[in-house]
Structure 1
Amino acid sequence: MIKIQSITKSFGERVILNEISGSFEKGKPNLIIGASGTGKSVLLKCIVGLARPDYGQVFYDGRDFYGSDSEERVEIRREMGMLFQGGALFDSKNVEQNVMFPLDVLTKMPLNEKLDRVNFCLQRVGLENVNTKMPSEISGGMKKRVGIARAIVNTPNYLFCDEPNSGLDPQTSILIDELIQDLSEDLDITTIVVTHDMNSVMGIGEKIMFLYKGHKLWEGTNKDITHSGVKELDDFVFANKVMNSLRSK
């Protein structure tokens, strides 16, 4: 479990996050949703340590991330897997080399064990016999799956996904959502997904945090979201339904 308390972050005089608190549960997808510019990605960066909050705490299974010394923070970071918005694959490396990269950097595992682990992870995300292909030779959806394989290759306890369906068609987005949900359950890890895609929300939103202008306005499940009683959330849901309807025409 990941728990955050009173996370506050400003850039200059602009308050991006205003005392955000909540918890993210193990074994299920935890979604952070909201319109663009509402602080979702900044919150994720504060959670993983890419941006330090001005105030507040982040706990990884009871370990105070920002209250720890540098050595313990490094150990916590070793337990993280990250899927970036664009996939962030190395163009100069093939699929196998991309997935193996965290093992090269973080472990002293023998090459044959690395290859076994890479092949297992590629098989787990539904990609076989693509080891030698370059990122330019595979589709956008395949790149995201390679990114997921790389994120789980080091057997993380925590998986973070920033807009995993960005730029994907609806059918591929569903496949990515289902893969993230399956991995969260099968590996029993704490997964946090930043998204503004209502299809993802309704499909895998077992735990949802809604941000609006840097404030947490609502927390619940996809079963409760349509009768939240929060106007800003209702407007967000309606706007997304309209956009999805226009895209399908």
Structure 2
Amino acid sequence: MIKIDNITKSFGEKVVLNGVSGVFEKGKPNLLIGASGTGKSVLLKCIVGLVTPDKGEVFYDNRPFYASDRDVKTDIRREMGMLFQGGALFDSKTVEQNVMFPLDVLTKMPLDEKLDRVNFCLKRVSLENSNKKMPSEISGGMKKRVGIARAIVNNPNYLFCDEPNSGLDPQTSVLIDELIQDISEEFDITTIVVTHDMNSVMGIGEKILFIYKGQNLWVGTKNDITHSGVQELDDFIFANKVMRSLRQQE
């Protein structure tokens, strides 16, 4: 579980986050949604420690991140996995080398154990026998699956996904969403997904936080998002053609 308490962040005179609090639960995807520029990406960076908030705290299973010393922060970071928006694979490394990279950096695991773990993760994302391929030889969807394999190779307790469906076709996006959901449940990971894709929201949105002008304006699930009673959320979701179609069918 991850808990955020009163996260506040300004850049100059611009207040980007204004006292955001919330809880992200284990074993399910927790979605951060909101229009561009509302603060959700900055919030994610504050949660993982890439940006230091002006006020507030992030608790990882009751461990305060910002109030802790360097050793505790390092331990928490070792428990994180990241899926970046563009995949962020190393072009000069093979699929196998990309997935193995966190193990090379963070562990002293013997090579044979690293290979076993890499192969396990590649099989889990249905990319067995792709070890020696280069990123230039695989599709965008496959790159995202390699990114997921790399994110889970170190057995993380916390998984962060930044716009995982960016640049993907609808069918591949559904596969990536389902994979993120399955892995979160299977390994009991606290997963946070930043997205503006309403197909993802309606597909895997078991816990949703809506960020608006730097505040957490609404919390709920995909089952009640269309009846939130929050005008700003309605304006956001029904700007999407799929959601407009859903409303017309009700």
CA distance in 1, matches of 2:243, 2:228: 21
Amino acid at match of 1:34: G
For 1:138, the equivalent position in structure 2 comes to 138
Alignment partner, residue 27 of structure 1: 27
Equivalent residue pairs, number: 245
Aligned pairs for 1:1-249 within 5 A: 1-241=1-241
What secondary structure, in the 3-state scheme, does the structure 1 residue paired with 2:185 have? helix
CA deviations over 1:47-85 (Å, ceiling 9, x no partner) = 000000000000000000001001100000000000000
- TM-score normalised per structure 1: 0.97
Q: 1:198 touches 1:241 (CA, 8 Å); kept in 2?
A: no
How far apart are the structure 2 equivalents of 1:111 and 1:221?
Answer: 43
Residue identity over aligned pairs, in percent, reads: 83
What are the superposed Cα offsets for residues 116-171 of structure 1, whole Å, 9 maximum, x if unpaired? Answer: 00000000011111101100110000000000000000000000000000000000
Check conservation: 2:84, 2:164, Cα contact below 8 A.
yes
Structure 1 residue identity aligned to 2:120: F
The separation in 1 between residues aligned to 2:87 and 2:41, in whole angstroms, is 15
Q: Distance in 2 between matches of 1:114 and 1:240?
A: 43
Q: Distance in 1 between matches of 2:2 and 2:72?
A: 16
What stretches of structure 1 of length at least 5 have no aligned partner?
A: none
Q: CA RMSD in A?
A: 1.1
SS in structure 1 of the partner of residue 19 of structure 2: strand
CA–CA separation in structure 1 for the residues paired with 2:93 and 2:244: 35
- CA deviations on 1:198-247 (whole Å, 9 max, x unpaired) are 000000000000011111110000001000000010011111226998xx
**C-alpha distance in 2 between matches for 1:60 and 1:242:** 35
Q: Contact conserved, 1:31 with 1:207, CA < 8 A, in 2?
A: yes
Name the SS of the counterpart of 1:71 in structure 2: helix
| 1:5 aligned partner, one-letter code | D
Structure 1 residue ranges (4+ consecutive) displaced by more than 4 angstroms after TM superposition: 242-245
Letter in 2 for 1:68: S
Structure-2 change in CA distance of 1:243 and 1:27 (3 Å): closer
| TM-score relative to the length of structure 2 | 0.96
The one-letter amino acid of 2:133's match is: K
Aligned residue for 1:20, secondary structure, equals: strand
d(CA) in 1 for partners of 2:244 and 2:37?
A: 20
Maintained 8 Å contact 1:32/1:192: yes
> Could you tell me which amino acid in structure 2 is paired with residue 10 of structure 1?
S
On the 8 A contact 1:84/1:161 being kept in 2, the answer is: yes
Q: For residues 244 and 130 of structure 1, what CA distance do their matches in structure 2 show? A: 40
User: Structure 2: 5+ residue runs without aligned partners?
Assistant: 246-250
Counterpart code for 1:77: R
Task: Determine if contact 2:198/2:243 at 8 Å carries over to the other structure.
Answer: no
